[in-house]
Amino acid sequence: MAEILRTLRLYLLLQRASARGAMQYRLNTVIGVLSGAVWQGAGFAFIWVVMHTFPSLAGWGLAEIAFLYGLRLTAHALAMIPMISVNDIHWVIRNGEFDRFLLRPMNPLVQLMGNRMGIGQFGDLLVGVTLLAVASQNAQVRWNAWLIAFCFLAVVGGALIEAAFFLALCSLSLRMLDTFALRVFVDDVFSRFGSYPMKIFGGVTEWLLTFVLPVAFVAYVPASVVLGKLHAPWALAAPLLGGVLIALAYLIWRRQLDHYQSVGH
């Protein structure tokens, strides 16, 4: 426990230093946050236009899909704010910087995560939380202590699911060097399919997005529970999947790290 707390403290210090560095260029930081917000706002604007043509998608109205979109976006932002610098792993390895991480008495993954903070993802978080707040009112969600706790755990669980796939794919760069295209593809699947009710895809696609690449568990299943559309007992355990997957992803990271070979710089 003491080692975990020490590692967490060092990570927070690294992120604090990264944030202070970013704030040296305040206008650039503001533009980064606003760019993230505008990009995600434009994504929801597309859904808004679609919903004015089709008032209901698989029984979901605009307010309900807005809640689903906000839940997914909030989880995505919470995953990427601490993990975005891991996306640079192929450059870090090519430049020989990863070797320095291995020489320091600190977890190399924590060092990599502390390289920079995901500034643009704060814009994602802003839009996601705003949509959740507004949509929950319009969708007439009947909040109570249990539902609030479940929604909080669902957001954390969804963030861990995305972070797990992201970390696992980045880990492959320790042996394959560059998995950027594969990471972009998986992120695109989470972003494009995760913002809609799974029922509209139907059949094999819905099954794949639920049990193979668990996109449905990031937001669709939890949102269905909160909105009263799903009462299956297994759905209540959806937030736990994130914890299981992030543990497996870390094991993959450790396994790939054992086979890392320096680029020779």
Per residue in 110-163, pLDDT tens? 888 877 777 778 888 999 999 999 999 998 888 999 999 999 999 999 999 999
Distances (CA, A) of 42 to 47, 75, 124, 165, 265: 9, 18, 11, 25, 43
200: containing domain? 2-258
Closest by alpha carbon to 117, among 95, 87, 153? 87
Looking at residue 104, its pLDDT comes to 81
The verdict on residue 21 lying in a domain is: yes
pTM of the model: 0.89
Show Cβ contacts of residue 202 under 8 Å, excluding neighbours closer than 6 positions: none
pLDDT, greater one: 23 or 44: 44
The verdict on residue 263 lying in a domain is: no
Q: Where are the alpha helices (DSSP H) in 84-178?
A: 89-94, 98-103, 108-113, 120-138, 145-171, 173-176
Residue 242's pLDDT band, with cuts at 50, 70 and 90, is very high
98: number of Cβ within 10 Å = 23
The verdict on residue 264 lying in a domain is: no
Cα–Cα dist 195/47, whole Å: 9
- The residue-averaged pLDDT of 80-93 equals 86
Looking at residue 22, its pLDDT comes to 67
Residue 3 has pLDDT above 70, yes or no: no
The verdict on residue 179 lying in a domain is: yes
Range name among 98-107, 122-131, 240-249 with the lowest pLDDT average? 98-107
Q: What percentage of the chain has pLDDT greater than the value 90?
A: 34
Which position has the token pair 């707040």? 133
The verdict on residue 78 lying in a domain is: yes
Q: Residues 111, 14: contact at Cβ < 8 Å?
A: yes
Which position has the token pair 């994602």? 124
Looking at residue 78, its pLDDT comes to 92
pLDDT, greater one: 8 or 265: 8
Q: What angle do CA 161, 167, 173 make, to 5 degrees?
A: 150
The verdict on residue 153 lying in a domain is: yes
Q: Where are the alpha helices (DSSP H) in the chain?
A: 2-22, 26-53, 62-83, 89-94, 98-103, 108-113, 120-138, 145-171, 173-176, 180-193, 203-207, 220-226, 238-258
Number of domains in the chain: 1
Residue 265 has pLDDT above 60, yes or no: no
Handedness of CA 187, 44, 47, 71 (dihedral sign): positive
Q: Residues 224, 230: contact at Cβ < 8 Å?
A: yes
The verdict on residue 246 lying in a domain is: yes
Show Cβ contacts of residue 220 under 8 Å, excluding neighbours closer than 6 positions: 68, 194, 197, 198
Looking at residue 77, its pLDDT comes to 92
DSSP reduced 3-state for 246: helix
